Structure 1
Amino acid sequence: MPELTDPDLLRSIAEISRIQAVPRILETVAHITGSRFTAIARVTETTWTACATHDTLGFGLVPGGQLVLETTICDEIRQSATAVVFAHASQHPIYSTHHTPRIYGLESYASIPIFRPDGRFFGTLCAIDSAPASFDEVHILRSMELLAELVGTYLDTEDRLAQAQTDLSQAHRVADLRDQFIAVLGHDLRSPLQSIAVAAEALEMDATSERQQRLLGHIASGVVRMEGLIEDVLDFARGRLGGGIPILLTRTDTLGTALQAVVAEVIASRGRADIDVVMQIEGEVVCDPNRLAQLLANLLTNAAQHGDPSTAIALRACATADGLTMTVSNGGHIPENRLADIFSPFSREKGELPRPGLGLGIYIASEIARSHDGTLSVDSTPQTGTCFTFQMPVLAAP
């Protein structure tokens, strides 16, 4: 038998092979008809191809096997969209002289057209035997029509699944390209920004008027802000493309000092002097202190921006032999429907008023926590406010 190479037929065989119920369907057809050969065939204008078979007759056809279309009754079924069922060919008024039973030595035969739900003809569900059968033709017709309809439904499900997988794969490719673009853009923006910063510093040395000093101050603050945005973009890209934000673990006994400096910076930049701080960090901690400082800065900035200004922000940090825990609480409340997405990038509610930043702060904080084998969680109710909790275990020394 020549090897089948037609891609459309190979695709049809693959579709049928993926339907787990097909073997049971063919066994059921064999049982109710008493036939020793049952098959699902793909029938086109030019070919008859077996897609799945159940053979105890020794007919010899396997998936991919083909019959000459003109020698089969299935070509007539394709053209008329009508089933053919007979139990005793040699006594049948029509099929006693038909060429198909004579060519293949058939006495009992049942073949039902298979249609996809959109009406396209696929092929046939067949049952044949060289011996006469004693089945009730009407009963067999109704039973096999139901099974053929089931196969058609399965084919539609396979089509939808294949399309969904294609769409998902395309979405992943687009997402990867987008993340790579963001990473390249963030990296390439650094050079011109550095040039702007250097030029602003040079001009500041020669500035004489108050207006020049003020404008250069705006440029300098804009550069600092853009540097922060670019770092956020790069951290986002690292988290998406590199399996997490990279950290440099060190054994440090100055983590408390670094965190206190972050508190001072947020007070100065956000005008929130009501940050209540309790720290109990003594001895050495194995961590990336710069990244943990960034995590805390993001949490405190988020609390200052989104919290109730009439309620103080509370920071609690404690390092023990079991690990490090930090909590940042404020008087704000995050609605229940937003909590599930709070750690997703760009997680801002539609219609929310514009705010500084890209909406990446909490996402980056959660990635820093993950890079430390830790967790960042949130709890928020109207009564107690919002509390972000960072916990990390004792890490091995670098």
Structure 2
Amino acid sequence: MSTINFGPDLRAVAKIEAVPMILRMVKHVTGMRFAAVARVTNKQWVTCAVDDSIEFGLAPGDELALETTICDEIRQHRTPVIFGHASEHPVFSKHHTPKLYGLESYVSIPIVRANGDFFGTLCAIDPSPADLDVATVTETLTLFAQLIAANLDMQASVDQSRRALEDEKETGHLREQLIAVLGHDLRTPLSAIRMGADLLESKLVERPERRLAVAIQRSAKSMGSLIENILDFARGRLGGGIPVEPRIVDTLQADLERVIGEIATAHPLASIEHSVQVPPLNRCDPVRVCQLLSNLLANAVTHGRRGAPIKVMISCDDYQLVISVWNQGVPIEPALMPRLFLPYTRSELGQREGLGLGLYIASEIVKGHKGTIAVTSSEADGTRFTATLPSAAPDQPQALIAPTEPSTPDSHP
């Protein structure tokens, strides 16, 4: 009765495509008619693979009593055992194993894993004597045993990596589900805070108290932006992208100017210069485009040099809406550029405010519009983010209905 589950070991050996060929080569090199790979522990001997021309009667998964074999001795001293004529051998003529199984010739080579663990043996047996070149047999079969051990180690490494990846995916999925639930549930108390702050601001007369109410309003608005970013991140990761719903709009310029005004009000120390020139009609998701501008502008305020102007340029050119946000400040490190639009990048690197989701969400909004986003950054020229989205001129109604795809594929710098 097995006390250990050898199923994984049997499957691991079965996956090694070279094992059948190795067993045939063992028989050829030794001249014996039975070859096997055995799993050997301090309690059990189990067949993992076999090539049997003498009908010895073992198949993969079959066991021999450990004490009836020589393999337990090999497990302990880890050296090969080879003899070609047991009845004439000074030691093995008296050993119980050849007598019990009627063996004359025998070869057994230890299989040892890279970490030093003893797996088992590569062995060959025959009831007839064999004329063995011990040195050649030992060298050849040792190489075969090492090949088996190397394959077992490789499989173990691949399996461990696969399990780690699956665990990471499961952990990430659960984390993102939790983020989505928390973000959704936080909206209700936040709405209550906003309503309470609005009521306080309307009722209070004294200036200090009114300033407190205004501060609560601003904090609630900032928290609302964080929650929306969390929800968008969860939607993007769990649902295949942030949803974008383009439509024909005639208020885009006013909407974008409102966003700039809100950021300027929330950050009175920031100097924001802007030029917004867009056609009366545009085809886009106006809410998402405003969110895109808000995230890029908030990024510039957060990482720009204090007191230096921030410049926003928005225009339409060749049926494309171009949003450019420029600021001065410490240039973005070249090593950070490839990861800049991935979630958490700046927060992981100890950058200042926020969750590190703003640029990720901005890039997903651009992707949803089938546009592109790029960044340049240097000490001399400052940092500029440029988002380009398909749009249409007012005299191109067909383009508004069915906009053409951008000529360049979506890419992140």
Question: Which interval holds the TM-score relative to the shorter structure?
Answer: 0.7 to 0.9
- TM-score for both structures, normalised by structure 2: 0.80
Q: Which runs of 5+ in 1 are unaligned?
A: none
State how far apart, in whole Å, the 1-side matches of 2:231 and 2:171 are: 18
The letter of the residue matching 2:238 is L
State how far apart, in whole Å, the 2-side matches of 1:30 and 1:396 are: 76
Cα deviation, residue 48, structure 1: 1.9
State how far apart, in whole Å, the 2-side matches of 1:112 and 1:46 are: 19
Preserved contact between residue 187 and residue 227 of structure 2 (Cα < 8 Å)? yes
Q: Who is 1:77 aligned against? A: 74
Cα deviation, residue 383, structure 1: 4.2
1:213-270 per-position Cα deviation (integer Å, ceiling 9, x unaligned): 2221122222212111211222222223232222333233443443343334334444
Distance 1:9 1:304, change over 3 A: same
State how far apart, in whole Å, the 2-side matches of 1:9 and 1:41 are: 11
SS in 2 for 1:8: coil
State how far apart, in whole Å, the 2-side matches of 1:328 and 1:27 are: 71
SS in 1 for 2:108: strand
State how far apart, in whole Å, the 1-side matches of 2:380 and 2:54 are: 76
Q: Who is 1:288 aligned against? A: 285
State how far apart, in whole Å, the 1-side matches of 2:290 and 2:21 are: 62
Cα deviation, residue 14, structure 1: 2.3
- Aligned-pair RMSD on alpha carbons? 3.3
Q: Who is 2:336 aligned against? A: 338
Q: Who is 1:170 aligned against? A: 167
State how far apart, in whole Å, the 1-side matches of 2:67 and 2:241 are: 62
Q: Which runs of 5+ in 2 are unaligned?
A: 392-399, 404-413
Q: Does 1:191 align with 2:188?
A: yes
Q: 2:107 aligns with which of 110, 119, 130?
A: 110
**Which runs of structure 2 are paired with 1:315-330 in the superposition (5 Å)?**
315-318=313-316, 320=318, 324-330=321-327
State how far apart, in whole Å, the 1-side matches of 2:228 and 2:256 are: 19
State how far apart, in whole Å, the 2-side matches of 1:314 and 1:195 are: 34
Q: Does 1:92 align with 2:79?
A: no
Q: 2:60 aligns with which of 47, 60, 63?
A: 63
SS in 2 for 1:262: helix
Preserved contact between residue 250 and residue 397 of structure 1 (Cα < 8 Å)? no
Cα deviation, residue 193, structure 1: 1.6
**Matched residue count:** 392
State how far apart, in whole Å, the 2-side matches of 1:100 and 1:7 are: 24
Distance 1:32 1:281, change over 3 A: farther
- TM-score for both structures, normalised by structure 1: 0.83
Distance 1:207 1:255, change over 3 A: closer
The letter of the residue matching 1:41 is A
Q: Does 1:208 align with 2:180?
A: no
Q: Who is 1:299 aligned against? A: 296
1:267-287 per-position Cα deviation (integer Å, ceiling 9, x unaligned): 4444555534364546442x3
Q: 1:217 aligns with which of 214, 217, 239?
A: 214
State how far apart, in whole Å, the 2-side matches of 1:223 and 1:339 are: 32
1:74-121 per-position Cα deviation (integer Å, ceiling 9, x unaligned): 233234433211123344334345454455454432101223334333
State how far apart, in whole Å, the 1-side matches of 2:24 and 2:373 are: 55
